[in-house]
């Protein structure tokens, strides 16, 4: 899922304070799992902004709402009227949802309440870690199911580098060395010999480097 983190309140306030009527709009799927952008968080953020507004002596009418997903047309049905009459929208969705709202409402200002941080999993309650960078050319089949693109700080195709120490990355003791994990997995799978195979050079044209990506299902 997509993980995001709420921006500092001060930064959000600076973006929205010029408006008279603001809709604080939650997205109740990915970013709700990390308790940053769901409809509940939209309610809390709206309260905080109301308190901020009254203290700053600024008159803003702040309404909170939300839908299940801000990245698909059909989910917007229930919020159609509200959004249509909003002067501005503070979206708690990831960057995708913020842009989707902006495209749907071409003359309504839309602001991001979150920094979209990564594609990750929930390894323990409240603990989210990056696992994929959507590079467009998955190598998990040859790396024992551990991604070197997202999890090695140097995204090495042939790691580990000389900085791997006690299973940790040289840049932080909080980061596992992805190549230690790959080697351990290959060994557990009885495939350590595969370690010495040189993979082809990575085709980054399938990554962000190749420009915005899209794909279309035939016959839809």
Partner 1 sequence: MEIRTNSRLEKILKSGQLAVTSECGPPRSSAPEGIIKKGHLIKDHVDVINVTDNQTSVTRLCSLAACVHLKLQGLDPVLQMVVRDRNRIALQSDILGAASFGINNILCLSGDHQSFGDNPQAQNVFDLDSMQLVQTVRRMCDEGKFLSGDEIKVPPKMFVGAAANPFADPFKIRVPRLAKKIAAGAEFIQTQCIYNIEKFELWMQGVRDRGLDEKVYILAGITPMRSVGMAKYLKKSVPGMDVPDELIKRMSGVEKDKQAAEGITIAVETIQRLKEVKGVSGFHVMAIEWEEKVPEIVERSGLYPRPKID
Partner 2 sequence: MENQCHFLEGNTNAAKRVKRLQSLLVTVGIDPERLHFYNLSAAQGPRWAEICTEFTEKINKLGPSPIRLALQKKKEAKNHDE
Instruction: Say whether residue 155 binds partner 1 (CB under 8 A).
Output: yes
Task: Using the minimum distance from each CB to partner 1, give the nearer residue, 42 or 169.
Answer: 169
Structure tokens at 174: 């909080």
118 Ramachandran zone, left/alpha/beta (phi>0; psi -120 to 50) = beta
- Min dist CB 194 to partner 1, Å, is 10
Question: In the complex, which residues of this chain contact partner 2 (CB under 8 A)?
Answer: 8-10, 44, 48, 51-52, 54-57
Instruction: Say whether residue 68 binds partner 1 (CB under 8 A).
Output: no
Among 57, 162, 212, 219, binds partner 1 (CB under 8 A): 162
**Binder of residue 55, out of partner 1, partner 2, none (CB less than 5 to 8 A by kind):** partner 2
Among 4, 79, 164, 178, binds partner 1 (CB under 8 A): 164
Task: Using the minimum distance from each CB to partner 2, give the nearer residue, 19 or 52.
Answer: 52
DSSP 58-117: ---EEEEEEES-TTSGGGGGGGHHHHHT-SEEEE-S-HHHHHHHHHHSTTS-EEESEEEE
**Binder of residue 38, out of partner 2, partner 1, none (CB less than 5 to 8 A by kind):** none
Q: Cα separation of 51 and 63, whole Å?
A: 13
Measuring CA to CA, which residue among 8, 9, 111 is closest to residue 55? 9
**Binder of residue 195, out of partner 2, partner 1, none (CB less than 5 to 8 A by kind):** partner 1
Structure tokens at 19: 């408006």
Which residues bind to partner 1, rule: CB under 8 A? 153-168, 170-171, 177, 180, 183-184, 187, 192, 195-196, 198, 201-202, 204
């Amino acid at each position: 899922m997509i993980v995001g983190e709420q921006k500092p309140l001060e930064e959000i306030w600076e973006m929205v304070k010029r408006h008279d009527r603001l809709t604080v709009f939650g997205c109740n799927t990915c970013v709700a799992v990390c308790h940053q952008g769901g409809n509940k968080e939209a309610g809390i953020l709206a309260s905080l902004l109301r308190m901020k507004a009254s203290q700053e002596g600024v008159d803003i009418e702040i309404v909170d709402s939300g839908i299940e997903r801000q990245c698909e047309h059909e989910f917007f049905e229930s919020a159609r009227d509200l959004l249509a009459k909003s002067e501005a929208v503070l979206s708690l969705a990831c960057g995708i949802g913020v842009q989707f709202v902006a495209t749907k409402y071409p003359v309504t200002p839309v602001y991001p309440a979150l920094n979209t941080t990564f594609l990750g999993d929930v390894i323990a309650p409240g603990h989210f870690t990056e696992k994929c960078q959507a590079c467009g050319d998955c190598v998990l089949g040859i790396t024992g199911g551990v991604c070197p693109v997202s999890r090695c700080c140097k995204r090495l195709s042939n790691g580990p580098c000389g900085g791997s120490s006690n299973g940790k990355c040289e840049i932080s003791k909080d980061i596992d060395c992805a190549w230690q994990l790959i080697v351990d997995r290959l060994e557990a799978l009885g495939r350590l010999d595969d370690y010495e195979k040189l993979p082809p050079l990575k085709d980054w044209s399938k990554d962000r480097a190749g420009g915005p990506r899209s794909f279309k299902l035939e016959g839809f």
